[in-house]
A and B are shown apart, each in its own frame.
Chain A
């Protein structure tokens, strides 16, 4: 065995932890540059999903509730070309939220 090989094996035997640390630093070179300890701690202190506001939170909750009730039947049946549609049959088009780029 070459002396370099022996050395690296010895190092691994001495500290698998240090070998793992080297692996981590290789993947994330910027790790630990900032005061890492307090970053981790701060993330821990602020556990919990952040929402924009309570409206956002309630919407998210409602979405989860809806997902849990897949048996709710779709309200409108789509018209699929059995007959020529009349204006009353067409679904109402919601006004576009995005203002036209031509305006203003």
Chain B
């Protein structure tokens, strides 16, 4: 099993796609039989597996281009087939996933096994008929969007107009049309003329869920810029700049590193956006730029471990975050295979663990607690015994139901609400 690098539900939640470090995409499908029965438990079974990207070599820079899938984004369904965008560091691909459950039988010139008949033996003519067959799911690459990014792609976001999408790398954001692969428009460019003056990079970008002219991008300095494509062709000047003022007396060597935003996600209703930095999750009202409206501490106890987290590079881990379907709960991952959920309305939060050793299938998950002080209560885990190699970077929430997908390093866990 390879390292999972991205997880994404499609717009109905029926399909769940994962990408891994080996360039493969695995799609799971929800079993929808018995959905209306009270005992219904969702099961997601493998639907399709395909190799999306292969490793490449950049001959000019003598650098390896990893095949790791950085992001998968589904397109809203328009016809019988499903479409998704998957990207590695340099190339975005549009994949079509379609089902085949019928096949023609009764050819005139071919035997059933495909061998050609001797034409002299054919004495009559018949019309082939479509007969049912075992379901076959085929994935085929329909578009390859290449050679538009000098730096490493971190985000892909489909526009609500269903015609365009953006791709963002460390310094630039490009706008594409889904049908056109040989042209892309640069809409943000933060590359300084002199690379010595580089102070920040783009860490994530996303289109607004309803306003097709609006997108946001986050930076390594903890700022988020909202841009309006109607303002100009090149959106280097932001329309809004979201930044929480910092207390200069609290500034340390780590301040900028831990303020770097690793993920930004609009709420489904389009009124808020959520950002994830190293230690917290912040909810911003799009109408208020000077501070977030809510801040949730994910693992504040790590603040006194920053030195070792810098040394083992964990301080650079990029955690993602997600909203539930009605924007009332947000979720993000942590270390030791822990993940956290924050209920915005009830001001409650919980820490859960994704681990086969510590919970059996169908068993209700037990909340976890990390203790920071000296006295450790029973069932609590001390900060020093946390496993920093077991990180949950990628999580996803079903668009309507309370079903979540949580990716540990090598495994995918699917949890759902307890059924009474």
The CA-CA distance from A61 to B66 in the complex, in Å, is 12
Decide if B64 touches A48 in the complex (CB within 8 Å): yes
A40 vs B379: C-alpha distance when bound (angstroms): 39
Q: Range of interface residues on chain A?
A: 35 or more
Of all chain B residues, the one with the shortest Cβ separation from A32 is B253
Specify which chain A residues have a CB less than 8 angstroms from the CB of B198 in the assembled complex: 38, 41-42, 45
Flag whether A79 is at the interface (Cβ < 8 A). no
Q: Mark A64-93, 1 if CB is under 8 A from B, else 0.
A: 000000000000000000000000000000
B305 contacts the other chain (Cβ, under 8 Å)? yes
Contact among B55, B64, B220, B255 for A17, CB-based, below 8 A:
B255
**What separation, in Å, do the CA atoms of A39 and B81 have in the docked complex?**
46
Give the bracket for the number of chain B residues in contact with chain A.
Answer: 35 or more
- Which residues on B sit within 8 Å (CB–CB) of A16? 303-304, 306
A 18-68 contacts with B by CB, 8 A: 18-21, 23-25, 27, 31-32, 35-38, 40-42, 44-54, 56-58, 61
Within the complex, what minimum Cβ distance (angstroms) separates A31 from chain B? 7
A50 to B59, CA, bound (A): 11
Say yes or no for A15: interface residue by CB 8 A criterion. Answer: yes
| B151–A45 CB distance below 8 A | yes
If the complex has contacts A45-B151, A51-B64, A54-B59, are A21 and B89 also in contact, measured as CB distance less than 8 A? no
Instruction: Please classify the interface of chain A as helix (H, G, I), strand (E, B), loop, or mixed, using the class held by over half of its residues.
Output: helix
Residue of B nearest to A35 (CB): B196
Which single residue of chain A is at the shortest CB-CB distance from B258? A17
**Residue pair B63, A49 in contact (C-beta under 8 Å):** yes
Does B256 lie at the interface of the complex (its beta carbon under 8 Å from any beta carbon of A)?
Answer: yes
Q: Which residue on chain A has the smallest CB distance to residue B306?
A: A20
Contact assessment for A20 and B254 in the assembled complex, using a CB-CB cutoff below 8 Å: yes
Q: Which residues of B contact A15 (CB under 8 A)?
A: 250, 252
Chain B residue nearest to A46 in the complex (CB): B63
Q: Which of chain A's residues have a CB closer than 8 A to the CB of B89? A: 47-48
The chain B residue sitting closest to A37, CB to CB, is B199
Most buried by B among A23, A46, A48: A48
B65 to chain A, nearest CB (A): 7
Inter-chain contacts of A31 with B (CB < 8 A): 253
- State whether A51 touches B256 (Cβ < 8 A): no
**CB-contact partner of A23 in B151, B255, B303, B307, under 8 A:** B307
Q: Which of A17, A44, A51 contacts B252 (CB 8 A)?
A: A17
Residues of B within 8 A of A24 (CB): 253, 306-307, 310-311
19 intermolecular pairs with C-beta atoms under 8 Å apart: A15-B250, A16-B303, A20-B254, A20-B304, A21-B253, A21-B307, A24-B307, A35-B196, A36-B253, A38-B197, A41-B199, A45-B151, A48-B63, A48-B65, A50-B62, A50-B63, A54-B57, A57-B62, A61-B55
Residues of A participating in the B interface, judged by any CB pair closer than 8 Å: 15-21, 23-25, 27, 31-32, 35-38, 40-42, 44-54, 56-58, 61
Closest 6 CB pairs of A and B: A16-B304, A20-B306, A20-B307, A23-B307, A21-B252, A48-B63
